[in-house]
Structure 1
Amino acid sequence: MSAPTKVSLRAPTTVAGSSSTPPGDAPSLDWMLGTWHVTHATLPMWKSKCNVRITYTKLPPAGDDSHPRVDDLVEYQSPGNPKTKSVNGISRSDPKAGLSPGWAWHWRGKGLLKIASSNWEVLGYGEVNDGGEPNSFIVTYFTKTLFTPAGIDVYSRNKKLSESTLASIKGALEGFEDPALKKLSGEIFEVPTEDSKP
């Protein structure tokens, strides 16, 4: 039997009293690129969806702005319906957070969603062995917007995340002093994956 997964998380910069210096290095942009499956979340809208996935694609610098940017494509389906819906935007490394690039991001929608924006942060990430399968994960925190409450998303390169890794993520959230973060640990639910995904 493999040893329990140990996950360390940093508190979001928006939480009062959180350290401005996260432990370790931020995830590299190259490591984050590609498609991630949202296996667990607290966002209410995902309770009625499945096959939620996010794809990050590197974008060139915008003019004189040297901060990293990625095309941020969210795709999802409704259970039993093969039609895929999507939300597209651009995420830019947020220098206002006072962190090295890769930890904090500012998202703005494209097209009709250009008026919408949000801030999100990487709280933790890593490589794990889930049931004999190598896997990568990211824990993200997004702030409250006009449309969504503040919450947590858990990404996995694979469609599934082991109970051991999930338990360690929940335990790390419960370890924060902030009551709102503790509360989120109990609100995490599984986002289903169906075979209807193309």
Structure 2
Amino acid sequence: MASKLTIGLPKVYASKGNKCVPPTNDFLAGTWHVTHSTLPMWKDKRNVNITYTTLPADSSGVVKIDDLVKYQGINSEKIKSINGVDTPSAGNQGAWDWRGKGWLMIASSHWEVLGFGHTDDGNQWVVTYFAKTLFTPAGIDIYARNKEGLAQATIDDILKALKEFEVSDITSLAESVFSVLQN
């Protein structure tokens, strides 16, 4: 069971109320395992994880985050990766604008933390919302610090909280969450 359940709407829906108080960069730093998602790109993948590393402040004082995603195909041993940099979204604490590195420099996306917390056994979790891009639909990911993921009761609590906003786009996403294989 979640001992702390803080869920809020993405900025796009903030006028409906209840915005999540964002986690600190220290809370986000480290490796997270994507255990549940609505994003079609993860349906045929396994062992999806994201490592956030806080970068030194740039010349204007902005602290960015290095964002490294690793994953495997369901039937593959090869580890693939996607690397980018997250820049805080101006005027929207808890939101970031991602830009790919290397050949992915042309790709960008916007993501926000909808909720985060910890379970009684010390596992941590984060719920992220990704805005629609040219390449992907809007989506939700649920991350866990532990590769084993979260208890079903915690997942149920998170999904229930998302649905209680009664915002059709968020409810629809919460109803289409699937498990991402971690092995």
Q: Is the partner of 1:183 in helix, strand or coil?
A: helix
Give yes or no for contact 2:130–2:139 (8 Å, CA) kept in 1.
yes
Distance of 2:166 and 2:34 partners within structure 1: 26
How far apart are residue 176 of structure 1 and its match?
A: 1.2
Match of 1:43 in 2: 39
Which deviations, in whole Å up to 9, do the C-alpha atoms of 1:39-97 show, x marking residues without a partner? 00000110100000000011112222x222111000000123111001000001111xx
Query: Which residue of the partner structure matches residue 92 of structure 2?
Result: 99
CA separation of 1:125 and 1:16: change in aligned 2, threshold 3 A? closer
- CA distance 1:6–1:186, shift in 2 (3 Å): farther
In 2, distance between residues paired with 1:29 and 1:151? 22
RMSD (Å) for aligned C-alpha atoms: 1.6
Rg comparison, structure with higher value: 1
Runs of 4+ aligned structure 1 residues displaced above 3 Å come to 3-6
Contact 1:90–1:109, Cα closer than 8 Å, also in 2: yes
Please tell me the residue identity of whatever aligns with 2:159: K
For these two proteins, the number of residue pairs brought into alignment is: 182
Aligned counterparts of 2:87 and 2:145: Cα–Cα separation in 1: 22
Match of 2:10 in 1: 12
Whole-angstrom distance in 1 between the partners of 2:36 and 2:130: 14
Q: In the alignment, does 2:16 pair up with 1:22? A: no
The CA distance in 1 between the partners of 2:11 and 2:136, in whole Å, is: 19
Separation in 2 of the partners of 1:177 and 1:74? 31
Give 1:156 deviation, angstroms: 0.3
SS in 1 for 2:162: helix
Aligned-residue sequence identity (percent) comes to 47
1:14 aligns to what SS in structure 2? helix
Which residue does the alignment assign to 1:165? 154
Unmatched tracts of structure 2, length 5 or more: none
Q: Is contact 2:2-2:117 (8 Å) kept?
A: no
Q: Take 1:128 and 1:85, find their aligned partners in 2: how far apart are those partners?
A: 30
* Counterpart contact for 2:11–2:92, Cα < 8 Å: no
Q: Does 1:69 align with 2:68?
A: no
3-state SS of 1:134 partner: coil
- Report the TM-score, using the length of structure 1 for normalisation: 0.86
- What's the CA shift for 1:4? 6.5
Listed one character per residue, the Cα deviations across residues 155-178 of structure 1 (whole Å, up to 9, x for unaligned) are 100111110110011101111121
Counterpart position of 2:73: 78
TM-score in terms of structure 2 length: 0.93
Q: How big is the shift at 1:26?
A: 2.1
CA distance in 2 between partners of 1:153 and 1:178 (Å): 17
Kindly provide the amino acid, as one letter, of the partner of residue 18 in structure 1. Answer: K
Native 8 Å contact 1:12 1:18 kept in 2: no
Counterpart of 2:85 in structure 1 is 90
